Amino acid sequence: MIQSNNMMYRIFFSLLLLLVTHSLSAQQITLPDTIPLTLNQQNTMYVKAVFNHKDTLNLNFDTGTTELILTTETLEHKLSTPPALYNTFYNVKIGNTTYRSKVYDAALSGHDTDGRFGWDFFKNKVVELNYNTNILVVSPSIPKYVQEDNSYTTLNMMPFKDLLMIKGTIAQNNIKVKDSFLFDTGYQRTAMLDREVMDTKDFPYQEMETIKKVIMKGAQGNQIPVITANLQSLTLGDYELNNVPIQLLTANKPMKGVAIHILGNEVLKRFHLFLDFKNYLVYLKPNKLFEAPYADQKS
């Protein structure tokens, strides 16, 4: 009887150890996690992700949003099982790591993508965006070699309505203004400047040379009249870009009721970036795309 009880205890503890070991391994996150990154001709960058263990999607890493947003087309036609929106958490596997997020819907997403996910997926982590080798790397901390490399300039990220902003300087006809920009890798163009903000700083945007006038669509399909004009200079930290074709808002702001400049991926793709979401810092230096032509370059 004693021998039988000892055998049962051994079996019980062996099963308990197996369960604990399995649980720990299931929660283990291996960092750094290196993920292939695609940058298309429209300046949309995206990664492959597996949604809800079943469906492989192209998702834009969009620092101008939070959580997971899927297009109406994706929700209706590309998923094995339609998700419950707004209040249910689902698994999203990116690289070797599984994240948890609620799901929201939108009419549009970047070219070639099924949706987008926000910076908060990587909260308290560091994300490297390397367009020279087309990889996105998630790490637990900023690499020491980056901190010691003087070619990187460092900018503070400032929280704003669950999003993040950085400082940049715009210049036109010898007038320079340093202002805040929404840091938005999901915006495909260079920068969108808000006239209301520039009016308060007496910035001479009326003197910019107009390149073209178009109607753009916001994430929900709303129409945004935009003028593309030539900005003489845009400076981020130690680095200056000249003759940048920026967009001027005329009405219907992308963020309703908010006057704000937006810095987009046609500028950000020109830098090797480390986004430190633990200490809210951006490290950047020019990459091979720094002098690449712009989509709306002045002729």
113-127: pLDDT as tens digits = 999 999 999 999 999
- Provide the token pair at 251: 């009405």
- Whether 27 has a pLDDT exceeding 60, the answer reads no
- Whether 221 has a pLDDT exceeding 90, the answer reads no
Pick the CATH number of 148-286 from 3.40.50.11540, 3.10.20.740, 2.40.70.10, 3.30.930.10: 2.40.70.10
- What pTM was computed for the model? 0.86
Q: Compute φ and ψ for 123, nearest 5 degrees.
A: -55, 135
Q: Give the whole-angstrom CA distance, residue 159 versus residue 163.
A: 6
- Provide the token pair at 107: 């009419």
The 10s digit of each residue's pLDDT in 45-73 is: 999 999 999 999 999 999 999 999 999 99
- Provide the token pair at 52: 């809800």
- Whether 26 has a pLDDT exceeding 50, the answer reads no
The 10s digit of each residue's pLDDT in 3-15 is: 445 544 444 444 4
> SS3 sequence, the chain?
CHHHHHHHHHHHHHHHHHHHHHHHHHHCCCCCEEEECEECCCCCEEEEEEECCCEEEEEEECCCCCCEEEEHHHHHHCCCCCCCCCCCCEEEEECCEEEEECEEEECCCCCCCCEEECHHHHCCCEEEEECCCCEEEEECCCCHHHHCCCCCEEEECEEECCEEEEEEEEEECCEEEEEEEEECCCCCCCEEECHHHHHHCCCCHHHCEEEEEEEEECCCCCEEEEEEEEEEEEEECCEEEEEEEEEEECCCCCCCCCCCEEECHHHHCCEEEEEECCCCEEEEEECCCCCCCCCCCCC
Q: Where in the chain is the domain with CATH 2.40.70.10?
A: 33-139, 148-286
User: CB atoms < 10 A from the CB of 269, how many?
Assistant: 20
Contact 44, 86 (CB under 8 A): no
Name the CATH superfamily housing domain 33-139.
Acid Proteases (2.40.70.10)
The 10s digit of each residue's pLDDT in 133-153 is: 999 999 999 999 999 999 999
Please tell me which residue, 294 or 251, carries the higher pLDDT value.
Answer: 294
- Please identify which residue in the block is written with the tokens 């030539």: 230
- Whether 129 has a pLDDT exceeding 90, the answer reads yes
Q: What is the pLDDT of residue 136?
A: 98
